[in-house]
Amino acid sequence: MGGSGSGNFLQVVAKNFDVLALPLVTLVYPLYASIKAIESKSRTDDQQWLTYWVLYSMMTIFELTFSKILECIPIWPYAKLIVTCWLVLPHFNGAAHVYQHFIRPVYMNPQAAQRIWCPSEEGHFQLIERKEPGGAAIT
């Protein structure tokens, strides 16, 4: 009888893994790491966690905006968990990568938002610059 109870518990945990893991990965660990960063003298960890919170806020706004669409995508919670792990875990340094390559260029040069990444024939993405009505590229 004892084995059946633990089997049910494991089934519940497995079925609700995203519900259990997501708050730990998105909030609990980042809060702990942010407090450690505040108390350290290093600026690197401060930047990592400030960047994470900016991206987390953007992801939350995205989810609130598109909640009805995201409800129809059954793998969304798992995709969010994987992306958040990539952003949070220091081994990957994903938050810094996203900030340096996507957020900062647009913030530093708002006209950079006019650039579009399109797939090329070779299967790579290439930068296409939008043209002004006179034909000059917007840079």
Give the model's pLDDT for residue 107: 84
Q: How far apart are the first and last CA of the chain?
A: 69
Distance between CA atoms of 45 and 120, rounded to whole angstroms? 37
pLDDT in tens, 39-49: 999 998 888 89
Q: Taking the complete model, does pTM exceed 0.85, yes or no?
A: no
Per-residue confidence at 90, pLDDT binned at 50, 70, 90? confident
Distance between CA atoms of 69 and 29, rounded to whole angstroms? 28
Q: Are 30 and 49 in contact (CB under 8 A)?
A: yes
Choice between 113 and 135, residue whose per-residue pLDDT is larger: 113
Count other Cβ atoms within 10 Å, centred on residue 26: 20
